[in-house]
Structure 1
Amino acid sequence: MMVDYYQNWVSELLKDYQFEYPWIQCTSVLCGIFSCKLVYDLSHIISGICFKHYRTLPKMKQIEWDNRAISTLHAIFITGFSIYLVLGSDLFSDDLQRGLVQSRSSTTSTFVLGVSVGYFLSDIAMIFWFYPSLGGMEYVLHHFLSMGALTYAMLTGLGQIYTYMVLSSETTTPGINLRWYLDAVGMKKSKAYVVNGVGIFLTWLIARVILFMYVFYHIYTHYDQIKQMPSFGYYLILITPCILGVLNMMWFAKITKGMIKTLAAKKD
């Protein structure tokens, strides 16, 4: 009963917030940017105290270390909410009495998207500032496509279901970052590095290959609803997953090749 009371109180609070402060999108983006800055600074302090290898890394490696701390926490945050909103709540259920599925949104779903937009803005700024040390043009393309889809869904409330489906693929990010950390501290030849590589392969296969197949299937089965959207949103839903899917397959090929190479070297 206490949990139900708390959930109702939070829901009412957010509804009042959206009613009284129509700039919820702006404030949520600012929260995302502030959180990124906070995590970056805390990572620099905590890592310098807890990890001796951190202090021996070159300056650029320390920057990337802290940058990956941001992306890891964002991935955990956005994956948790994506799974909850798509699977755990009834926001995007197939109940047609609640309206078209691609037109549904809530205060919570909009606020979370704003926080994620703030993260992508912060990350793309760092990528440009230190280019190409934190990522090449494929990362720039990925981030701009992601920000475009996120911003549209946040501002209009349309297509949020597909936005959250695609954001669920961020579940692969912690494993990718862990692999970089293991390499940075000299554990590239360890068993943990091999296990991590296999884990990345499996999570990538599920979250960025199979999941995207389901996204395309869902778009196909709900096309009669999607074609009722404004032209920009219509093309955004059709094109963005396709481009991201191609990028995912390119990275998946590299991951598979790297895993096979690592397993072969370990066997020898």
Structure 2
Amino acid sequence: MLYRANHCNRTKYFLAYDLTRILSSFYFKGYSSLTKIQHVEWNNRGMSSAHAIFITAISLYLVISTDLFSDHLKGPITFRNSIISTFALGVSVGYFISDLAMIFWLYPSLGGMEYVLHHTLSLVAIAYTMLSGEGQFYTYMVLISETTTPEINLRWQAVEHVPFLVLTGLKKSSAYLVNGILMFIVWLVARILLFMYVFYHIYFHYSQVVQMHAFGYYLTFIVPSVLFVMNTMWFMKILKGVKKTLSKWS
């Protein structure tokens, strides 16, 4: 069943990957001038944005709009799950498997070892919580950080240093500046402050966390901690980039 689900997810990923290629060729004038590897980079980032929008929406819905992970319900929060929460994690598992395969296939064009580490940790944690049903609250809290992905993909340096906003002719527009500021704010909230809240929540719910299987218990501490360190390092680079951009516009 797991193999069929992942095969289905990978198939959907590559179909959506082709859809990104088709739409881009119609709507972005700079797309046709890209090299072959730049096409791959563009399409890959388009798909990562699509996944980010999907999983962020699901994460916010489950964490904020439903009572699935509410402290008002009886029973440990670490063992709560639903059909929707498990299904959405399955979609993310398929995405991370496919994207990790693309990274290895074209290494290091789509990212270096930091991306391999990020995707591997994410894949292991998401797959475990999907299969076991444990720790889904913390998984979804971390997945909310995917809300930064679309902003990063619009601005991040692609192959041969060609960002999306350059290819679409918007680098000198106010959209480029707004995107940089928005990226800084969203990253601060979703990848720094939110992770601090996750650590706070784990501390005050430790009696529930400790009831998890040993593998899930250690994942709960290791994965957010490693990702938080990586997020902080990337945040410092973003801060430097925002300062540089603001100096040019001042």
TM-score range, shorter chain: over 0.9
Report the Cα offset of residue 27 of structure 1: 4.4
* Higher-helix-fraction structure: 1
Match of 1:113 in 2: 89
Which structure is larger by alpha-carbon Rg, 1 or 2?
1
Report SS of the residue matched to 1:52.
Answer: coil
Picking from 213, 223, 238, the partner of 2:196 is 213
Picking from 51, 55, 58, the partner of 1:78 is 55
Q: Assess, with a 3 A threshold, how the Cα gap between structure 1 residues 177 and 111 changes in structure 2: closer, same or farther.
A: same
Structure 1: how far apart are the matches of 2:5 and 2:180?
Answer: 35
Structure 2: how far apart are the matches of 1:135 and 1:184?
Answer: 20
- Give the aligned residue type for 1:122: S
Q: Assess, with a 3 A threshold, how the Cα gap between structure 1 residues 30 and 108 changes in structure 2: closer, same or farther.
A: farther
CA contact (8 A) 1:102 1:225 kept: yes
CA contact (8 A) 2:29 2:168 kept: no
Report SS of the residue matched to 1:187.
Answer: coil
- Give the aligned residue type for 2:62: L
Match of 2:10 in 1: 33
Structure 1: how far apart are the matches of 2:143 and 2:12?
Answer: 18
Match of 2:35 in 1: 58
Match of 1:164 in 2: 140
Where do 1:96-245 residues align within 5 Å? 96-97=73-74, 99-179=75-155, 180-245=163-228
Alignment identity in percent? 58
Match of 1:266 in 2: 249
Structure 2: how far apart are the matches of 1:36 and 1:81?
Answer: 18
TM-score by length of 2: 0.94
TM-score by length of 1: 0.87
Match of 1:3 in 2: none
- 1:25-54 per-residue CA deviation (whole Å, 9 max, x = no partner) reads 544433421221111101111211222210
Q: Does 1:91 align with 2:68?
A: yes
Report the Cα offset of residue 60 of structure 1: 1.1
Report the Cα offset of residue 135 of structure 1: 0.6
Match of 1:49 in 2: 26
CA contact (8 A) 2:30 2:168 kept: yes
Which segment drifts farther, 178-187 or 81-90? 178-187
- Give the aligned residue type for 1:63: V
Query: When the two structures are aligned, how many residues end up with a matched partner?
Result: 243
- Give the aligned residue type for 1:53: G
CA contact (8 A) 1:29 1:116 kept: no
- 1:158-204 per-residue CA deviation (whole Å, 9 max, x = no partner) reads 00000000000000011111223103334333321111100100000
Structure 1: how far apart are the matches of 2:187 and 2:202?
Answer: 21
Structure 2: how far apart are the matches of 1:157 and 1:228?
Answer: 13
Structure 1 spans left out of the alignment, 5+ residues: 1-22
Report the Cα offset of residue 223 of structure 1: 0.4
Report the Cα offset of residue 100 of structure 1: 0.9
